[in-house]
Structures are given as C-alpha cells and as structure tokens.
Structure 1
Amino acid sequence: MQKIQIKIPVLLPQVTSEKDTCVKRLINELEAKDGLEKVHISDKEEDGVPQLCFHYDPDKISIDRIQTIAERVGAEITKKYGHLLIKVTGIRHTRQARLIEKKLLDIKGILEASVTAAGLVRLEFDKNETNFDLITEKLEKENIEIVERSTGEDGLIKAKQKTKPDLKKKVSKEQTSGKVHKASEGESHAAGEKQAHEHGGVFGKDTELIFAIICGVLLGIGFGLSFLESVPDWISLSLNIGAYFFGGYFTAKEAIETVAKGGFEIDFLMLVAAIGAAILGAWAEGALLLFLFSLGHALEHYAMNKARKSIAALSDLAPKTALLKKDGQTEEVGIEKLNIGDVIVVRPNSKISADGVVVHGTSSVNQAPITGESVPVDKVPVEDPSKDYSKVDDIKAENRVFSGTINGNNTLEIKVIKEASDSTLSRLVKLVNEAQTQKSPTQLLTDKFEKYFVPAVLLLVVILLFAFLVINEPFSASFYRAMAVLVAASPCALAISTPSAVLSGVARAAKGGVLIKGGRPLEDLGVITALAFDKTGTLTEGKPKLTQVIPLGNIKEEELLKLAVAVESLSDHPLAKAVVRDGKERLQGNTIPEASNLEAVLGKGIKASLGNDNIYIGNLELFEELNDDKPSEEIIEKVRYVEGEGNTTMLLRKNKEYIGIIALMDTPREAAKETLLELKKLGIKRMIMLTGDNQKVADAVAKEIGLTDAWGSLLPEEKVEAIKKLKQQESKVAMVGDGVNDAPAMAHSTVGIAMGAAGSDVALETADIALMADRLETLPFAIGLSRKAKSIIKQNLWVSLGIVALLIPATIFGFANIGVAVVIHEGSTLLVVFNALRLLAYKK
C-alpha cells in the first residue's frame, strides 16, 4: 500500500476548512473508487493548507489517475453543492427561527439549515435540486426579507429592499453575475440596525411595544373601575375587551400564521389560554396574560437586539469610501472599487479603508476594533514601496494596517494588499456571523429535550381537560386548570436561554479582539483543565536575541563583538542578522571593520577574511571537522554549559586561536510569565510547552516563565500524539499556536486557539478561537469570558427548567392561577435574556 497527498483547495476551491461537510463527501466519493483503500485528512500540512492523504494500491491505480479522479470529484462536489450565509429581517424569536429552520429543511435539496433569532440563515444545498430563487421564495412566504447574503464564491452581498418582486429579481441577478452590488442609500439595513421584531403598523417598528402598553393601561383602568359601585360593569368589561384587542393583536396574528403553516407554537397556546379565560368570565386574568405576554415579547426582542447590534456594529467599522491616489491626485471612490496595489491616502483621525502596508508617512493607529489592543500601534513605511506585498505572509506589525482601524494625528499613504471583500475585517464579520449559527452542546441538548417535552405537555393538558370526569368539579374548572398548565409549561425561557448567552458571548469576545467560532468552543474553553503551547512565536518572541558575549583569552568583549558583527554582516542567516542587529546596538556607533571572502558551511557555520586573518564562526561540529587545533575540553564544556541554559551558541576562532563564545536565544515574551500566573489563578492545572527545540532549551524556557511541563524535540506529527496523550490524561485540552505549523495539533485538541490571527487567513480559518492581536495576555480574557458564559448558560438552564418544574405542579394542584403563571413565566423569559446580556459588560 502506498500514499500520496493532495491539497484540499486544489480539489475544493471554495472550501476553506477541512471540517466542511463537502470534504466528508469528497472522502466518501473517493473511497468508493477501486484501488483507493483509504482517504483521510493528513496530520501534516503544507504551508498551513490541509492535505488529503490517499492510501492506494499501485497495481490497481496510478498517481496520475488519483489526481484526475480527485480533481473531477472535487469539481463535481463544488458544482453540485452550494453554501449560503444570509442576513434576514422578520424573524421574531428563537421559536420562530426553529420553525423556519424546519421549513427550509423541507425544501428538496436543502441538506443543512441553521436559523437564528439574530436574523442569520446558514444553508448547504444541492444545486441540482434547488437554487437561491426557490430558497428566497420560501423565505418570502414566511414574511422574511433578505438583507445580505454571502457564498463560498463571493463576499457579502447586499440586497435591495423595495417590493418583493424587485428583491427576487435583484438576488437572481447577483447569483448569476457573482458581482458585488451596493444597495443605494436608505434601501438596506444591516441586520440588527432594523428591529428584528418589526411588525410595522401605525406606530412603526415600536407598534407591538406601544400596543402592549395601551393594553396595560386599559387593563389597569378597567381593574380600578371595577371596585367603584357607581360605575356600570359594562365599562370595565369594555376596557378589558379593548385590552384583549391591543394585547392579543400580534399574538393572534402570529398564532394564525403559524397554525396556517402547520406549526404549533407558544403564541397559539397563549391565545387559547386567553380565550379560555374569557369564556370562563375571567376577562381581567385573560387581559393580564396577553398584556404580560406581549410586553415580555417586546422586551425580549429589545434585549436580544442589543446583543445583535453589538455584532452588527462590526460591519460598520469599515468606511464606505477611500481617497484613491492616482497620478498625484486624490479621488474619493467606493471601497469595492479598490484593487490590490492601489495607494490610498488616510487623513489624520479617520478610519483606514483597506488592509495594506504603509508606503509613506508615520503615525500611530488605534487597532482596538480588530485586535482589541488598548494602546495605539506606531506605523512606519515599508523599505521597498514598489514591492507586491499581497503574497507576503510575514509583514512586520509596524508596516501593516487593517481596514476599520483608526489613524492617529498624521497622514498615511497605504498600499492596498487585499480587496474589500477579502479584508481581515470582512473575514471577521463573516466568521462572527457564521459563529452565531453554530449551536452549542447545551443548545443541542435543550432542543432534544424540547422535542419530547412539548408533546408530553400537550398530552398532559388533554388529560387535564377531562379531569372533571374523575374528580368532582365542573368542566370549567378542569378547562381553566389545563389552560394554566399550558402557560406554566411553555418552554420560552428554555428556548432562548442558550442562544442569548452564545450571541452575547461571541459579541463581547469580538469587541475584545477574540473571535470565538460558535457555541461549542465558547462552552468548551470554559471547562478545559490543560493548555498546550507552541514555543516559537507563542510563548517566545519568535526571533533570536543576542544574550551573552563571552571572551576567551586576552581579547576584550567589545573587540570580540566587532569581529563577530563584521563577519556575520556578510551572511543572511536569521542568527547572523540577530548578531548584527543586537551587536550594533551594543557597540553604539563604534567603527566596525570590513570582512570579505565569505564561505558558508550549511548548518554548521561560516568562514571569512578580516585583513590578513581568517575568522571562523560556528557550532562545535564546524570545528570538529577542521583537522587542526580543535577546541579544548574546557572550551567545549563552557559551550555545553551555555547551551544548557537554553541558548544557541557560536564559537569564534581567529586563525588558530579560540577567542570567544556568542550566545543567542529566542527569549520569552515579556507578558508570558504574568499571563501564565493569571491562567493558574483561573484554575488551569497543567500548562505544557510543545516544541521542536531540544529538551534543554525547552526546560530553560519553561523554568523562566513557570510552565508545568516542557516536551522538546517534537516533530509536527509528534505534537499531535502529544495532544492525544494529554486528552487521555486531562479530558479537555486547548492548543495555543500560530494556526499554521500547529494546525494538525490544534485540530486534534478540544479547542484550537490561534495567536495573532489578524491578517493571517490560515489562522482565522483553522482555529476554533482566534486571538486577533499577537498578544498572549488576551488568553486569560478569552478563558474568563468562556467561564462566565458557561456559568450564565447553567444559571439560565436552572432558572428555565426550575420555573417549569415548580409551576406545572403548582397549576395542576391549584396553587397558582393563570395570572400568577403568566407573571412567573414571562418573568423567567426576561430574566434569562437579561442575565445573558451581562456578558456584554464582561470586564477583562
């Protein structure tokens, strides 16, 4: 059996994650081919790109045939299956979102659907069986209007909102052209900008809330007048009937719409309970039920809208226009017209319009909207403004800027390196929106619970309707009790308890520069007990620094450093650059001699001429190979001792005399030690470093910053094995890395956390959680927020289930009437929503 690896994007160009269901389909299709024994995602990656590993029989199939089949199947899958993320308005609450989800899944060809009360619809569909027009038509029938959509092929597209036929025609055009259309001023609204529970009416978007208040006023006046003997009873009755109209208008409207579509929701149950109360002559109780239900609904939507707006605000970060510099002149253009390589001018104290590099001017930039950094970052021009930086991965932080960040007091000229639809901000908005559609483990559990709970309650209500046949009471008493149980058992609070917390948690994290991709990682991060860290670039600075200069013999430290800098300045090796950079800083302007005749020995060191002298710089292996004058045991022992402290060493020899040792080290981040202490306080028991460096280096770094374990000399596949071992020991493990080399290990951990994800497409796509800034100190914030979210989700579940558990027996045995039941029921719904909103105010 032989193996071959092929990049996933070669096969599925629109798929950015190996976790996509299209990758599973591709694997299933390929494994059905004769000669292909096994197909799986490899633990190894190339340039951070996932690979498919094919185990094949060379006697049955050739590599060329595998490549052809894989590309054909991949093309077929890409052609056959579509992905959509749609922003909509008109979804009123979580229960309606679930109803629409079911309706969409009923469409032939829809394979996966997720709908949120925040107004987001995520779909995966078979292009041969359905299309965007049919999906739009279905949504329109549910009185849902599309605001924006995105697919695997294009960025976020705004849809015009005029009449329904125009909307449909517009969407269809966009789908065929694939171009981005910008809605004209006032024609479209970002989701969250418009109230999600917009019924319209005489009072506009606030009509339901105003109707609820009118209902309450009429109820209060009617109730008060009922105590005055001089006032006829019909006046109080008329006021209660008026209260019924205003309190029940939208409840009845929703109930009728739902029942007409074959649904059976809480609105219908509440309406039946209110009608039942009226039949029994309890008009005031029925009006109270409708008042509290409609008021609770309106306040619930107001509260959820607050969280929704927090996420929608991300979309508004980027300015809509930019000052394009062309032929010495500036012209204001829409950001969608900017191309890679264009130069834009950013005036003082204005927002930056595109991802790019500074080519002229110096300033400080507030990056908080993207990375959460509270301190502005100084920006300087790149060394070569004419270079194409769009394909460069390691752009320095002082040269790079992001769309949506805010310029300081000086004018900057910026060369665009990403189109508007592909900017870091655009990706962040898209991923945050997708995150809202990902259900958490708790939400999946509550959905499953409700599936069985609602039919059980309806069965109980039917049984209670016939209680008068068993116990000595009139039918009216049995009917009233059954209606009270209906109100008490309605799982409103349960339905909204988890989604509201996930929405608030994701919104707060995004504001703090942390991207959490949905409910699962939000919950999982809160229960991890162990953290595994990559070393280079995560716990350390990621670049070597000159740590020690040790003269041997009579030479002075300054003279030794001059020789080293002179010779190393001829080399472009990273270690040589570090010696030159830090050496010049130490020498502070002293004259450095000129070296020549550089000869490099790969992996061992260099030789050069300095005047009449030969200078050798390298590791011990270089000098072991020289036949004459090997270093003494004393010198070797000294080198080994310095290496034992975690340094990389260079031994210097002038002609035949050994003159000194230079030590370099990838030094720990300044914040590493303090961050690890904070993590320990948060209850993280084990903090393990996984590194390819030797064990001595690993131990030295671990000791300095306070890690519990350090595992060195690990290859990428051995890091995966280390994660698997840790999961057996600790159950829940998070892996923190840069999202590129560490992607396989991150994929096998409970939660993968990428550092410095701003500007890194791979890190944004591969990680479950992305720390946008290259700052380790944001990790305790992310974990703390997750713990808080997990705690709030638990509180909400206890409140919602506890209230139902208490109210059902209380109403069955007559301890609580409909009025009491509805007050407690609506109170618990509002309580869980406002409890979830506390996450928006979470402090670091």
Structure 2
Amino acid sequence: MTIVRRHLIPLISGALIGAAWLLGLLPVPPLVSDAAMVAAAVVAGFPIMRTAGRALLARVVGIDLLVTVASVGAIVLGEYWEAAAVTFLFAIGHALESATLNRTRSALTALVALAPDVALVLRNGEQLEVLAGSVRTGETVLVKNGARVPVDGTVQQGTGTIDEASITGESSPAEKRAGDRVFAGTVSTGGFLQVLATEVGAATTLAHIVHRVEEAQEATAPTQVFMDRFSAWYTPGILVLAIIVGVVTGDVFLALTLLVIGCPGALVISIPVAIVAGIGRAAQLGILIKGGEFLETAAKITVVAVDKTGTLTRGRPVLTDVVVLNPALTRAEVLDWASRAEAGSEHPLAGAIVQAAAREAAREAAQGAQVTGLPEHITSVPGQGIVAAVAGRTVLIGNPALLRAHRIAGTDAATTLAEKLAAHGRTPLIVVLDGVVAGVLAVADEVRPDAADMVDALHAAGIVRVVMLTGDGPLVAQAVGAHVGIDEIRSSLLPEDKLDVVTGLRRDGHVVAMVGDGVNDAPALATADIGIAMAAAGSAVAVETADIALMGDNLLMLPAAIDLARRTVRVMHQNVALALVTVVLLLAGVLFGGVTMFGGMLVHEASVLIVIVNAMRLLRRSGQRAERRARRRISSESHVQSPKKSEKSENKEMIRR
C-alpha cells in the first residue's frame, strides 16, 4: 500500500499541475488555475510536511523541512507554480528513489525468497506435505528432483546433486550421498535424498545469512558516520544562510530558492546506497560482510595472512609413506605402534595415521595385529610431537627436535629421510619405540587446485604481500609455499606465534587480513584488521563472528571479496564528489547565475538518481569474469596432488617392504 501511495501522490499532483496549465489557457478566472496549482502543491507537499514535523519532534533538521519552508513560502508569495513544481519533483524523486533503492536490496529479497514454504516429511511411514516451519529437528525430510531443501541436515539415504549457489556461491551443483550436509534454500537438480533435519526455521544457515545481511546493510560505515555528522550541521547551515541572504538582499524568493537548491539529498544517500549494493552483491557471491565498517577496511588491505591447513590445503591429510628403519619390526607393526600412540592425540595428523592403521589391520587380518588398544598415558610436546605409554612401552612420535630433547641415539638416517620427505611437501613423523628409532611416517595434505590462482588474483587486486602461517616445519612449508607462490612463509608456529606475526605486521603499518577456519586460528583472526573465515557454510559461529565469511570452499572468492570492497569504496567516493560538486554549482547558480527553484529541484533530484544508479553498478556480474577465467584454467590443468606421482616413483624403493 505504501508503494502504491508513493506513486499515486506524484500522479495526482502532476495531473493537477496539468489541469492548472490547461485552465490557464481557457477563459476562466486566474483564481481557478491558481487553486489547481495550490492543490497540486498541497497533495505532493503534505507527506513532506508530515515527515518534516516528525523529524523536528526528534530534533532533526532535515531535507524535508527545507522543501516545506520553501514551498509554503512560495505559496505565501503567490509563486504557486514554483511551490507545485518543487513539491511535485520532490515527490516523484522519492518514488523513483524508492524503486531504485529496492533494486539495491535485491540480493536480500532473493535470499528471503529462497526459503521454501512447504516440506515433504516422512511420518509414521507416510509422506506428508507440511509447512516448512513446522518440521521438527530429527525428522526425515524427502528431497526430490527439482525441490528446494527446506532444512539444514545430513543425507541419510540416496544420492543426488544439489545447486548450492544460493549459499556458497558455487555455480556447479554438488554431488550428495549418505553423510553429506545439505542446506535450506538449495535446490535439488537430480536424484532423491532422505535428509535428517538437524537445523530448522531460524536456526538454518540460510536464516543466519539473511539475518547477517540485514544487519550488515543497516550498519554504518566510518565514512557514512562522517557524512551524517556533516549533514547534521550542513542542513541547519543552509537554513541560516537562506535567512541571511533574505535579510541582506530583501529578496525572500531568492532565499526560498536557496533552501531548495541546498538540499543535500544526494549527499545523504551517497554512502548508504553504495554499502547496501556492495554487501548485497557480496551475498550473491557467497561472501558475507559483517557491515560497512568492515567493507571499508577490506578495501584498505595490504597484507593477507593465510593458514595452510584447511585453507591452502584441503585439510584432509592422508598417510603417504611408511619407512621401516628397525629390521626387527614389520611395516604393520611400526604403523600399529604409531597409531596406538596417536589415538590419544588431538593433532590433525593423528587421524590420518589412525585411519591408515585401521586399513592396514584389515588387510593383514589373516596375520592379526600384534598390538591393539589405546595409550595408557600421552604427553603432547608443542612444536615437537608426542610421548606416549603404550602397553608398558614408550613411543615417541615427532620431529628431530623431539628426538634430541630425549637424547635418542642413531637418528641420522631418520633425520635425513625426514628432510627428504619434507622437501617434497610431506610432513615427516619419526617413530621411536623404547629409545630405538623404528621408522619414519609421512603425511601429506592435498594443496587446493585454486590456491595458486588465489595468490595471483590477490596480487592483481593490489595486495602487496601474501604470508603463509603454519605449524608445519620449514621444509614442508617451503614446498607448499613455492608451489602456491606465497611471498613470505612463517613455519613452526604455535597459535600465539601466529598472533605475534599478525600483530607485528599491523605494527609495521599494514592493514592485515587473516584467513583461517574461524576456530583454530581464533587469536590471529581476532587481532587482524579483518578476520576472514573460510568455508563457513553450516557454521553459525563463523557466520556470526567473522568480519567476512566465505561460505564456500572456492579460494577465488577471497580476492573477489577484496576487489568488490575496493570497487564499493570507489563508488562511495564518486558519489560524495558528485553530490558535493552538484550542491556547490547549484548554490553558485542561485547566487550569481539566476537558477530557478524549479530548475534547481530538477537538477537536485537528477543528482540523487545518478548517485543511486552509480551504486547499482556494483550489482552487475562483471566482477565474476576473472573468477570464471581462473576456473577454466584450473579445469584445464591436471589435478594438483601432494605428493606428486613423480615424487612417489622417486621414493618407490624407499617405501617398499
């Protein structure tokens, strides 16, 4: 109804103005046409006056007050046409602004529209169609081809493909099978899935995204705060200036014209419209920006610090090598002792060893495993490894520093081998049983195929340095860093060391973005100027706490986010410059060039629309061209793995029993 009324008012006012002109051409008393013109001014001006009154009650002198005073003054002076023209143009300008501003919020509207109204659930063995909001946690939801997923959940049965572009920004549908996660608002493009509902209603990832985008688009950027303060002084200043001009010149109509010309409409709207458009565009790409403040800060980033595991790599390490150095042990025994010790460790690499041992035990089932169970005691040595008590024996697993600390003899061969494996990008773990070196294990994490392209794109976006922060040893870090093209590598870091690195970079004058998983690197993420959480889809904590959350696994969204932030800030500056130049020229035109009230209002409303249209350029999809080119390059290249096949061949004899 508000939208209809907004368009109806300028239509009625315009019709009355047209009628007044026609009556002026007919042989009727001038009073009739003047009455029509005044009626046009009242119809268009009453909502403006009402808004001005409300603002005054809140002790705010706004644009509406300037227009109200000018139009009332024009009527008092008998300038009915000027009064009608000014209020009509202001009303039609408001209607056009409302329509175009709604387009800048199109991303949020589209997100809200993604939420399905109904869900197909399985209750008592029957398929029932219910309201999506009535689905309960733990229920089984059926997702058929073409249907929109109504809840967040885990696939229990079935296979299919899901278009997750609305959540992660990924254009290619994702294959889903038992155990995989699905999100509300995504669309099935094939197959049939039975999904166990884990989050419903306001708890879904989509709901968190909508909430975050709503808050972000309403948040105030530092530049906007400055402009708001400026406007708070500028608008009353124009009112005072008009009074002074009227008193000095004795020309009341000139003073009223000055009020209209001085309206800072384009200035007031220049910043928020750009922020809304920029954050909306980011949401379309699967990038959540917490607010205008972080959008502006992201545009100033000079250094990007990235965690290795889970960011540059997939975060799913696998055991690649088992080299036996103690002839009294078999390959299966070395792996088994190591797995039992690592079973009590929280280190990310421990899982790879335990899983590999389980597979090895299954293959060697005929012989049976000699040692089974969990460690009786385990001590983690930060930066070195672990010391465990297993079945009454002592097992050490770690790097050469751990062996030196425990005065283990005969480690030269193990150290040389560990260095060779590390040079190939694998993480070596030396296994010691009761003071004797048993063997060396190697674990590798696959480098993401788009990691190198991300670094190139960051440099192209103006980032002067990309720093890798990792707890891995120097050789592994150097191998991964060289492959990806990292500018600076910091290895063997503890969480507090990463914090110190980020603090040091900021102390050197850099604006630092820290990219991590949002949990393990929490201190560094919190200390950085911008904390960026990777692959935040499904993680409500990451969505709510990160300054910027990349919903998908696509690393190219990181440079895309920085590039979008910089384009948004450029648009903000362009809008402010345009608004200021327009106001200055109009004021000069009124005082020295004879600009009329009608002409000034026409230019004023045109400048407002130009500012909005300029901001709407951010909604265009041209920013994805670089991303598409990078994806084509990735798909044309062979799948990057660590270790490479050539490296495996080189070490074939070394790892063979």
Paired letter, 2:465:
R
Q: Is residue 641 of structure 1 aligned with residue 439 of structure 2?
A: no
Q: Which residue of structure 2 lines up, in the alignment, with residue 378 of structure 1?
A: 175
Q: Distance in 2 between matches of 1:465 and 1:576?
A: 82
For 1:363, the equivalent position in structure 2 comes to 160
Provide the residue aligned with 2:70 in structure 1: 273
Q: Which runs of structure 2 are paired with 1:672-711 in the superposition (5 Å)?
A: 672-711=451-490
Instruction: Work out whether 1:317 is the aligned partner of 2:114.
Output: yes
C-alpha separation between the residues in 2 aligned to 1:564 and 1:327?
A: 51
Match of 1:537 among 291, 294, 310: 310
Output the amino acid matched with 1:401. Answer: V
Task: Indicate if the aligned counterparts of 2:341 and 2:389 stay in contact, CA closer than 8 A.
Answer: no
Q: The residue matched to 2:280 in structure 1 has which SS?
A: helix
Q: Secondary structure at the match of 1:713?
A: coil
Distance 1:743 1:373, change over 3 A: same
Residue 292 of structure 1: CA displacement?
A: 1.4
Q: Do structure 1's residue 578 and structure 2's residue 357 form an aligned pair? A: no
Where do residues 519-530 of structure 1 align in structure 2 (5 Å cutoff)? 519-530=292-303
- The residue number in structure 1 matching 2:6 is 208
Q: Does 1:510 align with 2:283?
A: yes
How many Å apart are 1:681 and its aligned residue?
0.1
Q: CA deviation at 1:455?
A: 2.2
Query: For residue 804 of structure 1, what is the aligned residue in structure 2?
Result: 583
Q: CA deviation at 1:259?
A: 5.2
SS in 2 for 1:597: coil
Worse-superposed segment, 784-793 or 232-241 = 232-241
Query: In the TM superposition, what whole-angstrom CA distance separates every residue of 1:422-471 from its partner, at most 9, and x where no partner exists?
Result: 22222222222222332100111011111221222121111111123xxx
Q: What one-letter code is carried by the residue in structure 2 that aligns with 1:299?
A: L
Residue 568 of structure 2 corresponds to residue 789 of structure 1: yes
| Deviations 1:741-795 (CA, angstroms, capped at 9, x unpaired) | 2222222211111111122232123211111113322111211111111111111
CA distance in 1 between partners of 2:617 and 2:236 (Å): 33
State how 1:438-587 maps to structure 2 within 5 Å.
438-468=219-249, 475=250, 478-547=251-320, 573=343, 575=349, 578=352
Q: Is 1:413 aligned to 2:186, yes or no?
A: no
Q: Distance in 1 between matches of 2:338 and 2:437?
A: 17
The residue number in structure 1 matching 2:554 is 775
Q: Per the alignment, do residues 300 and 631 of structure 1 end up closer, same or farther by CA in structure 2, a change over 3 Å counting?
A: same
User: 1-side partners of 2:90 and 2:284: how far apart?
Assistant: 33
Contact 2:221 2:296 in 1 (8 A): yes
From the two aligned structures, give the one with the greater helix fraction: 2
Question: Matched residue pairs, number?
Answer: 608
1:595 pairs with 2:335: no
Structure 2 residue matching 1:668: 3-state secondary structure: coil
Note the C-alpha offset of 1:408: 3.0
Q: Does the C-alpha gap of structure 1 residues 258 and 438 become closer, same or farther in structure 2, counting only changes over 3 Å?
A: closer
1:233-248 alignment to 2 at 5 Å? 237=34, 240-248=37-45
SS in 1 for 2:278: helix
1:430 equivalent in structure 2? 211
Q: How does 1:685-764 map to 2 (within 5 A)?
A: 685-764=464-543
- Aligned 8 A contact 1:273 1:286 in 2: yes
Q: Is the 8 A contact 1:521 1:768 kept in 2?
A: yes
- Is the 1:434–1:517 Cα contact (8 Å) retained in structure 2? yes
Q: Shift of the alpha carbon at 1:407?
A: 2.2
Q: Tell whether the 8 Å contact from 2:322 to 2:439 is kept in structure 1 after alignment.
A: yes
Distance (whole Å) between structure 2 residues aligned to residue 592 and residue 507 of structure 1: 60
Partner SS for 2:127: strand
1:819 aligned partner: 598
Shift of 1:357: 1.0
Q: Tell me the SS of whatever aligns to 1:341.
A: coil
- TM-score with structure 2 length normalisation? 0.81
For 2:371, give the aligned amino acid.
N
Amino acid at match of 2:206: L
Change (3 A) 1:465 1:575: closer
Tell me how far apart the structure 2 counterparts of residues 675 and 511 of structure 1 sit (CA, whole Å).
Answer: 20
AA aligned opposite 1:306: R
| Alpha carbons of structure 1 residues 809 and 550: separation in structure 2 relative to 1, 3 Å | same
Provide, for residues 363-422 of structure 1, a one-character-per-residue CA deviation record: whole Å limited to 9, x for no partner.
11111111111111111113xxxxxxxxxxxxxxxx111122222322211112224222
- How far did residue 579 of structure 1 move? 5.9
Q: Secondary structure of the residue that 1:356 maps to in structure 2?
A: strand
For 1:332, the equivalent position in structure 2 comes to: 129
1:297 to 66, 79, 94: 94
Closer, same or farther: CA 617–254 of 1 in aligned 2, 3 Å? closer
In structure 2, the residue matched to 1:185 is: none
Show the 5 A alignment for 1:95-174. Answer: none
Q: Deviations over 1:245-278 (max 9, x none)?
A: 4433433443455557765432232133223334
Shift of 1:289: 1.6
- Distance between the aligned counterparts of 2:431 and 2:60, measured in 1? 82
Deviation at residue 290 of structure 1 after TM alignment? 2.0
Deviations 1:272-295 (A, max 9, x none): 322333444443333322221111
1-side partners of 2:151 and 2:577: how far apart?
46
Structure 2 residue matching 1:663: 3-state secondary structure: strand
Residue pair 2:342, 2:354 contacting (<8 A) in 1 also: no
Change (3 A) 1:492 1:625: closer
1:635/1:510 CA distance change after superposition, 3 Å:
closer
**SS of the residue 1:832 aligns to:** helix
Which protein, 1 or 2, shows the higher relative CO under an 8 Å CA cutoff with sep ≥ 6?
Answer: 2
Rounded to whole Å, the distance in 2 between the matches of 1:779 and 1:627 is: 46
Q: 1:830 matched to which residue of 2?
A: 609
Counterpart of 1:813 in 2: which secondary structure? helix
C-alpha deviation, 1:520, in angstroms: 0.2
Q: Give CA deviations for 1:534-575 in whole Å, capped at 9, x if unaligned.
A: 222112221223455779999xxxxx9888778878787565
SS at match of 1:410: strand
Go from structure 1 to structure 2 and tell me whether the alpha carbon gap of 1:798 and 1:638 turns closer, same or farther (over 3 Å shift): same
CA shift, 1:333, in A, is 3.2
Cα distance in 1, alignment partners of residues 202 and 18 from structure 2: 54
Deviates more, 1:330-339 or 1:370-379: 330-339
Q: Cα offset for 1:207?
A: 2.9
The residue type paired with residue 370 of structure 2 is S
Instruction: State, as a whole percentage, how many aligned pairs show the same letter.
Output: 35
Give the AA of the match of 1:715: L
1:648-667 correspondence to structure 2 within 5 Å: 648-650=427-429, 662-667=441-446
> Alpha carbons of 1:285 and 1:633: their partners in 2 closer, same or farther (altered >3 Å)?
same
The one-letter amino acid of 1:465's match is G
